Amino acid sequence: MILVIPVFGQRRKKGDEDSVPAFTEGVIYSLPRTGIRLHVRAVREIFEPGPYQSYAGQLLGIDNAKSSRSVKWFIEDIEISTFSEPDPEHVYKALGEVAYNISLTPDGRLAGINSDADISVKDFVKVNRYIEKPEREDGFSFADFNDTPIYTRGDSTNSYRPVRVSKDTKAAEAASRILECRLSRFHMVAGLMDEFHPDGEAYKVSLDELECIENNYLSLFTGRTTYSNETFCFNFIPSPSTKGDVIFRFSEVKGMLPASDLSGKPVSIKVEPVKELTGKYSGLASSENPMAGQSGLFYRMPAIADVSIIFELKTIASARIPMPQYGETAPIPEELLMGDHMIEIHPETGAVKSVSEK
């Protein structure tokens, strides 16, 4: 019985006449595809009108002071980066003895054959939250720099009961403080004060403090604007027909929105592969060897694509990026899989990194 048991586990060598494969099972792997990740930095501007806005023109000569609260968003900057993931359109099975000599990344992408290269994947997960956040209080109050009391002492006409100070009076007092600050700065700069500051630093600090006090009182009439920064991250996988797909939407009132929210304006992406390079690859990807691809091992020749981010018919960001899914796929030569060579693959693109003898 021992003599008639067939011998398994021997890989067919070049020139062997036995056409029965040594293994019928294998290891499944995938080639990569490239995704585009947008890092969008936005600024939220919040305007709070001053309590004495209606007196700005009368007391200070400031016209068109804003009277209503407003929130406005701006896109400040966009950065383009890439990430790699398995391509569901290019999943293969490595067969034969070479199946236990391949290296894969944690997510199943081909990284090498007979290779001990580092296959760790450095990536991160960025979560976008579209929940409207409450506005943070910064402790600011217009009442902190209005030194006019709310009530004053009464007289005999009202039995000396406290009298509430009118808004007109408080506005006039605040305007008077602004003019006093301006006059003090003028006297200091013109050298009209009775005493000079002992050194240049004290002089500078005094001028800065007077300017700060003036601006605080001025905000009672012109209002106050605050800014906050928010960062968002959007992932997108280009397809062969990516010529205007919406990545996210933007609203000046609501800020960043998902692509499904039609209340914002679309921010779209356009991807254009370089046809000259893919054309050259297409002519060389095929093999005349009838054994090509029998082991089920393939690599990629990534294409180069121009990526443009478009908002309101204007290109606001662009980049030139390698895109494996737009390139050609070719079999790894069977002669290199006999165990005498070490092949390293770029897990990010699926391209051959190096071929060397062991």
324/301 Cα distance (integer angstroms): 7
Q: Is the pLDDT of residue 275 over 80?
A: yes
234/222 Cα distance (integer angstroms): 38
Q: Is the pLDDT of residue 285 over 80?
A: no
What digits encode the pLDDT tens for the residues 316-335? 999 999 999 998 899 988 88
341/172 Cα distance (integer angstroms): 89
Q: How confident is the model at residue 162 (pLDDT cuts 50, 70, 90)?
A: confident
CA-based nearest residue to 32, from 286, 287, 334, 301 = 301
Using a pLDDT cut of 90, give the percent of the chain over it: 37
273/286 Cα distance (integer angstroms): 21
Using a pLDDT cut of 70, give the percent of the chain over it: 80
What digits encode the pLDDT tens for the residues 4-51? 334 334 444 444 444 444 556 789 999 999 999 999 999 999 999 999
Using DSSP, state whether 179 is helix, strand or coil: helix
- Residue 51's Cα: distance from chain center in Å? 38
Domain boundaries, the chain: 21-136+227-357, 142-221
Q: What is the pLDDT of residue 161?
A: 75
75/256 Cα distance (integer angstroms): 9
Evaluate whether 35 touches 82 at the Cβ level (below 8 Å).
Answer: yes
43/231 Cα distance (integer angstroms): 9
Write a three-state SS string for 85-153: EEEEEEEEEEECHHHHHEEECCCCEEEEECCCCCCCCCCCCCCCCCCCCCCCCCCCCHHHHCCCCCEEC
Q: What is the pLDDT of residue 82?
A: 92
In terms of average pLDDT, the best of 71-75, 159-163, 293-297 is 71-75
What digits encode the pLDDT tens for the residues 232-254? 989 999 987 778 899 999 999 99
The single-letter code of the amino acid at 341 is H
What digits encode the pLDDT tens for the residues 86-111? 999 999 999 888 888 889 998 899 99
340/325 Cα distance (integer angstroms): 30
In terms of average pLDDT, the best of 3-7, 16-20, 213-217, 286-290 is 213-217
Q: Is the pLDDT of residue 64 over 70?
A: yes
Using DSSP, state whether 221 is helix, strand or coil: helix
Structure tokens at 54: 């209606």
Q: Is the pLDDT of residue 197 over 80?
A: no
Q: What is the pLDDT of residue 32?
A: 94
CA-based nearest residue to 78, from 248, 288, 322, 214 = 248
CA distances from residue 128 to 47, 228, 264, 355, 358 in whole angstroms, order as listed? 26, 17, 17, 41, 47
Evaluate whether 62 touches 94 at the Cβ level (below 8 Å).
Answer: no
Q: What is the pLDDT of residue 249?
A: 94
Evaluate whether 99 touches 24 at the Cβ level (below 8 Å).
Answer: no
Q: Which is it for the CA torsion 246, 324, 305, 231, positive or negative?
A: positive
Q: How confident is the model at residue 338 (pLDDT cuts 50, 70, 90)?
A: confident
The mean pLDDT value of the chain amounts to: 82
pTM for this prediction? 0.73
Q: Residue written as tokens 């956040």?
A: 133
Using DSSP, state whether 315 is helix, strand or coil: strand
